Amino acid sequence: MPIDRNGKDKEKFQQLQAVIDDKKGMPGALMPIMQNAQEIFGYLPIEVQQFIADELNITLSEVYGVATFYAQFVLEPQGEHVIGVCLGTACYVKGSQAVLDKLSEILHCPVGKTTEDGKFTLNATRCLGACGLAPVMMIGDEVYGRLKPDEVEGILAKY
């Protein structure tokens, strides 16, 4: 669904405006503003990037440059549940790649993409820092540890 600044998304833009007004004067405000914008919209569509650029009086290319540099910023809408399989070293040596492959197979979804029904986004993530529970994945804020590939189907069924 396209972004509509004066229609359905009006309230979100008002929220963003308040954030920008609050942070505008502080040094290095761009990233905190973008992080807030992503919380409000769920992702950073080009219209939102343009809005931030206009408000901060900088070019769109500067905002887009930051948006594409950092892994945290996403330019496309995310699925209802975001799955992150940890591919940090500790998880990798304990077989997290097999967990990721299995998820990709069950969901018919390549890594980094969202399922057709918009329910899940499947990501490989950097170390989540729960190395004691390796291999680990997160679905939303929920952490699942000491995983085996044949357990993931049952876990997905909960969502």
* List of residues 6+ apart from 55 with CB closer than 8 A: 17, 20, 24
Closest-CA residue to 19 (of 9, 30, 6): 30
Element (H, E) at 107: helix 96-107
- The amino acid present at 148, given as its one-letter code, is K
Binder of other proteins out of 2, 7, 25, 28 (CB under 8 A): 28
Q: Is 112 in the site for other proteins (CB under 8 A)?
A: no
Least Å distance, CB 69 to other proteins, is: 4
52 to 71: interface string for other proteins, x by CB under 8 A: -------------xx--xxx
**Do the beta carbons of residue 6 and residue 47 sit within 8 Å?**
no
Which of the residues 68 through 97 are near other proteins (CB under 8 A)? 69-73, 87-90, 92-94
Least Å distance, CB 149 to other proteins, is: 11
Q: Is 40 in the site for other proteins (CB under 8 A)?
A: no
Residue 73 has phi, psi (to 5 degrees) of: -85, 130
Q: Is 18 in the site for other proteins (CB under 8 A)?
A: no
Classify residue 149 by its DSSP letter. G
The residues binding other proteins (CB under 8 A) are 27-32, 35, 65-66, 69-73, 87-90, 92-94, 125-134, 136, 143, 145
